[in-house]
Amino acid sequence: MKRKNLSAKKIIRNFYLDKLKNPKIRKIYFKFKENIQKYKSDKFCVAISGGPDSIALAFLSKCFSITENTQIYFCTVDHKLRPESSLEAKKTRNTLKKFGIDCEILDLIKNNINSNIQSKAREGRYDLIFNKCNKKKINIILTAHHENDLYENFFIRLFRGSGLKGLSSFSKIKNNIKKNSNVHIVRPLLSLTKNDLFYVTNNTFKFYINDPSNENEIFLRIRLRNLIDQSVKEGLNFKKLKRTIDNLHSTNESIEFYVRQNIIQNSKYFLKKKTIIIKEEFFKQPNEIVLRSLNELITTIGNRPNFTRGSKLTTLLTRLKSKKNKSKFTLSGCIIEKINNSAIIYPEN
């Protein structure tokens, strides 16, 4: 390596190590480090949006790569939903490059999205990033979701009528959000507030992109964000809310234990035939246990990119518990055949 390149590399390294001498930044970094070190991976992907939260994530991740000698791939998605998005993606990439971070721009093919804009754009972003991770053999994606996002997602799911699993799932630091995928989303900043991340960004790179959609009340998330801000003024206590979410998460974990037991004890999977036989006792468990167990089995057999919706599962279960001795249903690429009080699940094709 040329002397000039070695010198530049040393300057970059010293920049990060000097910033870590700041007591508050160091404390935030150690929380971040603790949350990702447990996965014992030597490769991570960091998804950057250009906002202050993700820029803070970029700084913390780069520190981790320096101090722990870890390989980290950085990327940002140009979603093309706004005329400025391509320029913003390039500005983010060019700014990060000044701080020794190579950030690849992934281009999302622009489609005519007229409804659920943020949700569909999110799906498109994750598809791009997941495909890139598969090519690079990376199985952990770091995102900049923080404590405030935890509360927002709780209220979004509450407004949409989610059950216990939905209300508590975002509180998990690690999630597998795509069926049958070995790539996981890790949220190492969930124990940090938005103000914490603003502090990191403003005292390190001093750069971020303002997304005007964050002020647009056409989106449910923004309306709920404003509602939460107003509720805080009226006395909403985040510590108590966090305790509630933690309790829901703990209860959900207990239910998941009995789901696994129900599947192990009351169903049998024949790998060669890709067929699952469900015993009568399977359906005698509490309704939530049966629904989740059924979902797991359909996910095992089906060949669809997404998980089965709860309303469809509820309808299926009602039919399976009917008095008819024989009946046949299709759902999520599976055929579910009821025979007396038991059932068989096998692929549709």
| Same domain? 75 vs 184 | yes
- Any domain includes 10: yes
CA distance 209 to 82: 13
Closest CA to 194 of 300, 51, 317: 51
Q: Which of 27-36, 47-56, 167-176, 185-194 has the lowest mean pLDDT?
A: 167-176
| Same domain? 110 vs 163 | yes
Q: For the chain, what is the domain count?
A: 2
| Same domain? 342 vs 196 | no
Length of the chain: 349
pLDDT of 184-228, one tens digit each? Answer: 899 999 999 999 999 999 999 999 998 766 666 677 778 888 888
| Same domain? 316 vs 206 | no
CA distance 304 to 185: 20
Query: What residue has token string 């709780």?
Result: 154
The β-bridge relationship of strands 326-331 and 334-339 is: antiparallel
| Same domain? 228 vs 262 | no
CA distance 88 to 81: 12
Of 187, 215, 236, which residue constitutes the final position of a domain?
Answer: 236
Q: What is the CATH number of the domain that holds 153?
A: 3.40.50.620
| Same domain? 15 vs 163 | yes
- Any domain includes 71: yes
Task: Give the DSSP letter of residue 236.
Answer: -
| Same domain? 17 vs 81 | yes
pLDDT of 39-62, one tens digit each? Answer: 888 899 999 989 999 999 999 999
How confident is the model at residue 239, as a pLDDT?
86
- Any domain includes 170: yes
Are residues 179 and 304 in contact, defined by beta-carbon separation less than 8 angstroms? yes
| Same domain? 213 vs 267 | no
How confident is the model at residue 302, as a pLDDT?
85
pLDDT above 90: residue 105: yes
The DSSP line for 296-342 is HHHHHH---SSPPPHHHHHHHHHHHTSS-SEEEEEETTEEEEEETTE
Domain extent, residue 302, equals 247-347
| Same domain? 79 vs 110 | yes
| Same domain? 180 vs 75 | yes
DSSP strands (E only) in the chain: 43-48, 71-78, 103-107, 140-142, 174-175, 184-186, 267-270, 275-278, 326-331, 334-339, 342-347
| Same domain? 200 vs 274 | no
> How many other β-carbons are positioned within 10 Å of the β-carbon of residue 242?
16
